[in-house]
A and B are shown apart, each in its own frame.
Chain A
């Protein structure tokens, strides 16, 4: 794992509607890392990703690849700088074919020409052979798992440096979840860094290097993924069990 920093978030504050969704979030990730953000519903995980891609406005200091993120004004600019988001709702172009969906994923690179598009397409098909089989089918006719693959494939068509995945396991059967996480781990070898937001904490932490637990818009816990996975207080935040003997936050960060 290389040491150079890809993303540094200091004191990020974002609100969505009338709710203060994020209060003072700080987070770091290095190039080539898989970082998980877990936590119960409504903790602000989705808002965090929306703020980073530029869908909701935010305040605070965010540096991406050494540059202030505010330099890139809108989603389109951030996408062309290598940040991609696969949202929880997938947002596919339902009436269009699988292949058209993928080709549109490369929209931010349209100046690179056809050859570039088609070699990227071949790589994505190699990663998701299922999509190649379905390439002339309308996206709206795919199953849940295939839709998630298409959404990820479409994001990869932009050749992102930082891929953000919002609940990739949402609504998927366990076997398919396994496949998706295998692909996420495979991505690391291609140099893509992944910021993963998940409810499915175990699967997420198992595939990650580092993890953050969000609760009520704040970072409640953080630490190396393997240690977080064994931390009993993580389970309590999900199942509403009364807090008991949790390791203090400081201790965990010290380890990390």
Chain B
């Protein structure tokens, strides 16, 4: 088990087992509420702090969980467990539809959509027939679990905090996996993840649905603990408060969720007693306080308060995880190709942006076991061509083939699956993941474990193989000593090399490198050159865009020069160096 899990798991288990024995009635109830809020907040941490999406509608999902079981158990007299299933099913379905409608749009449509949705559902709870209007539904039955009747707050204390312990375990399992790395990469943009073969839209949908299901679970617990529901606790204001909890606590950590839920609940209780004494009755003074607190928090401590506290806690030794076991059997590889076979061919490729023609009638061929360099002055259209070849942009005309398959209309994810792997000119690593985790993102497509197996950590065999593969590629590019460092802490030159290791993890036939030598020192450049020569010997095709001419001319088998979006010249390196047209392109012709 990971060490960072010990504190939250220990805390929730302790509350589950000792809370009912030690705490007075009032505190037990308070701890129960904190627990119910924490379950929702944990889902929001996954969604917002880790995934970079936001929802104001979590209270509505809590409401669906609560009302589903309330109606089924009272009006229809069915089992609470069926109520749980129906609540989760209904919530999942709604979240799926809402997510599919908004997740393809820019990031602010989901929260706006959830605001509108959260308001609507509140009015529905109050007005739909059979839901008891604003008065609510009474006499919801108790739950019994294997003969244990949960009849009072102390019983629920045990159940709620056991549930939290389970949720923490499941979510951390999820985050510490192939699927989890894809989720943690989401908020840094999807161009990179898609190019690594990750279905980012699916990852977004997964966390939105999981967060909604956790909210519904909290609602189910609430309904059977209170044995009464009415619309008030599911209003949009409560949806906003859930978000406040994690902003305050720390949106990116599981413990931050529990801390935020505790802080907000306790502070609210205390302020509701204190403030009216200062300002008189008839106000929601604590909401003024929280509103301003959140603004200050966003201005001065954007990561929330928990990170500030945990930085002061004593660090326990041995916190770093062990490196992967390199004896793990390697992942299956693609079948080898003959040398000098045509890998990539672009014919008459055109790309227009409005009135500008960025690429015009561009032709290019890359063979296996060869290094092809693409050079040209700034603005010649090299980056555009790179984006066309890797599927980030579709060409306006022309055809691109990879090993006899036409790829110009395929997504970057599909092109990656065929064996094309790339790096980015502006480094796109996940700064708060280790080098090992970043590189293993490249092997995403080579793993297959589903969500359920992942959450239960039943995919450890596959996970070990993926990490071992990543470690081998890191070793290969010479960054073995940085295996467990956070990628964001490396100098930029080394980050570029990490990108190469990540690309290699996909076991590609063709490597597309965008300015790999920029920012490298002399010795590092030599090492990179040596690595690329080795890859060439192993039969890999390499296409690189590079401005360091010493580097290019020493290394490339074939050089293609672009100017004004067109091919100006191509040939052997020294022929290019002496080509008058190329010289003019770089230095400017005589006017």
Taking Cβ atoms with an 8 Å cutoff, the residues of A that contact B are 17-19, 40-42, 88, 140-144, 167, 169-171, 173-174, 177-178, 181, 198-204, 206, 235, 238-242
Question: Given A143-B355, A240-B552: A235 and B379 within 8 A (CB)?
Answer: no
Question: Given A140-B354, A202-B590: A167 and B378 within 8 A (CB)?
Answer: yes
- Judge whether B378 and A141 touch: CB under 8 Å: no
Complex Cα–Cα for A170 and B381 (A): 11
- Judge whether A201 and B588 touch: CB under 8 Å: yes
- Judge whether B589 and A202 touch: CB under 8 Å: yes
Residue of A169, A174, A204, A239 near B577 (CB, 8 A) is A239
- Judge whether A42 and B547 touch: CB under 8 Å: yes
B449 in contact (CB, < 8 A): no
What residues on B are CB-neighbors of A142 within 8 Å? 355
Chain A residue with Cβ nearest B553: A240
What residues on A are CB-neighbors of B591 within 8 Å? 174, 177-178, 181, 203, 206
Residue of B548, B577, B588 near A200 (CB, 8 A) is B588
Complex Cα–Cα for A114 and B544 (A): 53
- Judge whether B550 and A240 touch: CB under 8 Å: yes
Q: Encode contact with A along B512-535: 1 for CB under 8 Å, 0 otherwise.
A: 000000110000000000000000
- Judge whether B518 and A42 touch: CB under 8 Å: yes
B332-389: which residues lie under 8 A (CB-CB) from chain A?
354-356, 377-380
Complex Cα–Cα for A224 and B491 (A): 37
Shortest CB–CB separation between residue A177 and chain B, in angstroms?
7
What residues on B are CB-neighbors of A141 within 8 Å? 354-355
Q: Encode contact with A along B296-334: 1 for CB under 8 Å, 0 otherwise.
A: 000000000000000000000000000000000000000
B583 in contact (CB, < 8 A): yes
B169 in contact (CB, < 8 A): no
Of the four ranges (under 10, 10 to 19, 20 to 34, 35 or more), the interface on chain B belongs to: 20 to 34
Shortest CB–CB separation between residue A220 and chain B, in angstroms?
15
Q: Encode contact with A along B541-569: 1 for CB under 8 Å, 0 otherwise.
A: 00000011111110000000000100000
B465-493: which residues lie under 8 A (CB-CB) from chain A?
491-492
Instruction: List 8 A-B pairs, minimum CB-CB distance, nearest first.
Output: A240-B549, A200-B588, A171-B379, A203-B588, A202-B588, A240-B550, A41-B547, A178-B591
Chain B residue with Cβ nearest A202: B588
Shortest CB–CB separation between residue B74 and chain A, in angstroms?
59
Between A and B, 5 residue pairs with Cβ closer than 8 Å are A42-B547, A181-B591, A202-B589, A235-B583, A240-B551
Complex Cα–Cα for A140 and B549 (A): 35
Complex Cα–Cα for A159 and B429 (A): 44
Complex Cα–Cα for A204 and B587 (A): 9
- Judge whether B564 and A171 touch: CB under 8 Å: yes
- Judge whether B549 and A239 touch: CB under 8 Å: yes
What residues on A are CB-neighbors of B354 within 8 Å? 140-141
Shortest CB–CB separation between residue A21 and chain B, in angstroms?
10
What residues on B are CB-neighbors of A240 within 8 Å? 548-553, 577
What residues on B are CB-neighbors of A206 within 8 Å? 591
Shortest CB–CB separation between residue B220 and chain A, in angstroms?
48
Chain A residue with Cβ nearest B590: A202
Complex Cα–Cα for A19 and B492 (A): 7
Chain A residue with Cβ nearest B591: A178
User: By DSSP majority rule, is chain B's interface helix, strand, loop, or mixed?
Assistant: loop
What residues on B are CB-neighbors of A169 within 8 Å? 588
- Other A-B contacts than A18-B491, A169-B588, A240-B552, 10 sampled, CB-CB below 8 A, are A19-B519, A40-B549, A41-B547, A141-B355, A167-B378, A170-B378, A199-B586, A200-B377, A202-B587, A241-B577
Chain A residue with Cβ nearest B582: A239
- Judge whether A199 and B589 touch: CB under 8 Å: no
Complex Cα–Cα for A143 and B353 (A): 12
Residue of A140, A170, A174, A238 near B379 (CB, 8 A) is A170
What residues on A are CB-neighbors of B583 within 8 Å? 235, 239
Chain A residue with Cβ nearest B583: A239
What residues on A are CB-neighbors of B518 within 8 Å? 42
Question: Given A19-B492, A140-B354, A241-B577: A40 and B547 within 8 A (CB)?
Answer: yes
What residues on A are CB-neighbors of B356 within 8 Å? 144
Complex Cα–Cα for A223 and B577 (A): 26
What residues on B are CB-neighbors of A178 within 8 Å? 591
Complex Cα–Cα for A171 and B384 (A): 13
Chain A residue with Cβ nearest B381: A171
Question: Given A199-B586, A239-B586: A140 and B355 within 8 A (CB)?
Answer: yes
Chain B residue with Cβ nearest A206: B591
What residues on A are CB-neighbors of B590 within 8 Å? 202
Shortest CB–CB separation between residue A44 and chain B, in angstroms?
12
Question: Given A42-B547, A173-B564, A240-B552: A201 and B587 within 8 A (CB)?
Answer: yes
Complex Cα–Cα for A235 and B380 (A): 20
What residues on B are CB-neighbors of A201 within 8 Å? 587-588
Complex Cα–Cα for A206 and B587 (A): 12
Complex Cα–Cα for A171 and B379 (A): 5
Residue of A171, A181, A238 near B587 (CB, 8 A) is A238
Most-contacted residue by chain A among B379, B548, B551 (CB, 10 A): B379
Most-contacted residue by chain A among B378, B583, B586 (CB, 10 A): B378
Complex Cα–Cα for A30 and B197 (A): 55
Chain A residue with Cβ nearest B493: A19
Chain A residue with Cβ nearest B588: A200
Shortest CB–CB separation between residue B81 and chain A, in angstroms?
54
Complex Cα–Cα for A88 and B377 (A): 13
Complex Cα–Cα for A141 and B355 (A): 6
Shortest CB–CB separation between residue B523 and chain A, in angstroms?
15
What residues on A are CB-neighbors of B553 within 8 Å? 240
Question: Given A18-B491, A143-B355, A167-B378: A177 and B552 within 8 A (CB)?
Answer: no
Shortest CB–CB separation between residue A183 and chain B, in angstroms?
13
- Judge whether A199 and B377 touch: CB under 8 Å: yes
Shortest CB–CB separation between residue A148 and chain B, in angstroms?
11
Shortest CB–CB separation between residue A60 and chain B, in angstroms?
22
Complex Cα–Cα for A177 and B588 (A): 9
Complex Cα–Cα for A199 and B377 (A): 8
Shortest CB–CB separation between residue A86 and chain B, in angstroms?
15
Complex Cα–Cα for A41 and B547 (A): 7
What residues on A are CB-neighbors of B355 within 8 Å? 140-143
Chain A residue with Cβ nearest B488: A18
Complex Cα–Cα for A242 and B551 (A): 11
What residues on B are CB-neighbors of A140 within 8 Å? 354-355
Shortest CB–CB separation between residue A232 and chain B, in angstroms?
12
Question: Given A40-B547, A41-B547, A240-B550: A200 and B379 within 8 A (CB)?
Answer: no
What residues on A are CB-neighbors of B492 within 8 Å? 17-19
Shortest CB–CB separation between residue B416 and chain A, in angstroms?
27
What residues on A are CB-neighbors of B551 within 8 Å? 240
Complex Cα–Cα for A206 and B377 (A): 19
